[in-house]
Amino acid sequence: MVDFIMQPWPWWFSGILVGLTVPLLYFLTGQGFGISTSLQQIGAMCSPGSKLSYFSKFDKRTGMWTVMFALGIVIGGFIATRYLSAQSIEFLPESYLSLGGAVRLLAGGILIGFGTRYAGGCTSGHAITGIANLNWPSLVATIFFFVGGLGVTWGLGRFIF
C-alpha cells in the first residue's frame, strides 16, 4: 500500500482521481473545474483601474477562488514531491536547464497564456469539464490542442527539442 503510493501512480488510478476533481470542486466550492482563469484573475488583480474590459469586467472577488486553487496546486506539488515519492521526479529534461531552455519555456509559456485565454480554457476547463458536459465547442478546442501539440512535436519539434 505504502509502496503503491510512493511509486508513480498507474493511469487508471490517476484518471479516476483527475475525473473526481470535477464533482469535488462543484460540491465543495460551487465552481466549475478550470485552471487557466487564474491567469486572468492575476492579471485583473495586478491591474486595478485598468481600462481593458478583459480586466475591468472580470469579477475579481469571485475569481479569488482560482488563485486559491492555483496556490493549492503549488502546495500539492510540494507535498507529492517531498513526502509521497520514493524517487526524485524529473519535471523537465536536462536540456531545459539552460539559457536556450529558458527561452523555449518563455515562448511556450506565452503561447499557453495567450492561447488558453483566447480559447477560453485549457485541458481542465475544455478537455475534461467541457467534454464531460457534452459541450461541443470544448471538443473542438481539445482537437485543436492536439493539432497544435502534434504540429509542433512532429514539425518544428526537430529544431526545438
Partner 1 sequence: MTIKTKTTDNNDAAPANRESASKQKSISALALTMSLLVGVYFGIVLTKSEVVRWQRVHDMFMFRELHMYLIIGVGIGVAMVSMLLIKSMQVKTIEGEPIVYQPKPFHKGVVIGGTMFGAGWAITGACPGPIYAQIGGGAWMALVTLAGALLGMFLYANVKSKLPF
* 147 scored as a contact of partner 1 (CB under 8 A): yes
Q: Is 88 left (phi over 0), alpha (psi -120 to 50) or beta?
A: beta
Size of residue set near partner 1 by CB under 8 A? 128
Binder among 2, 3, 89, 159 for partner 1 (CB under 8 A): 89
Cell of 18: 483527475
Give 57-94 as a DSSP string.
TS-HHHHHHHHHHHHHHHHHHHHHHHHS-SS----S-G
* 86 scored as a contact of partner 1 (CB under 8 A): no
Binder among 49, 130, 158, 159 for partner 1 (CB under 8 A): 130
Smallest gap, in angstroms, from Cβ of residue 51 to partner 1? 11
What does the alpha-carbon distance between residue 59 and residue 61 come to, in Å, rounded to a whole number? Answer: 6
* 159 scored as a contact of partner 1 (CB under 8 A): no
Taking CB under 8 A as the rule, which mask of x and - marks residues 56-85 in contact with partner 1? xxxx-xxxxxx-xxxxxxxxxxxxxx--xx
Task: Show Cβ contacts of residue 14 under 8 Å, excluding neighbours closer than 6 positions.
Answer: none
* 17 scored as a contact of partner 1 (CB under 8 A): yes
Restricted to residues 98-127, the positions that interact with partner 1 (CB under 8 A) are 101-102, 104-127
What does the alpha-carbon distance between residue 125 and residue 116 come to, in Å, rounded to a whole number? Answer: 10
* 45 scored as a contact of partner 1 (CB under 8 A): no
| Complex with partner 1: residue 3 or 133, whichever CB lies closer | 133
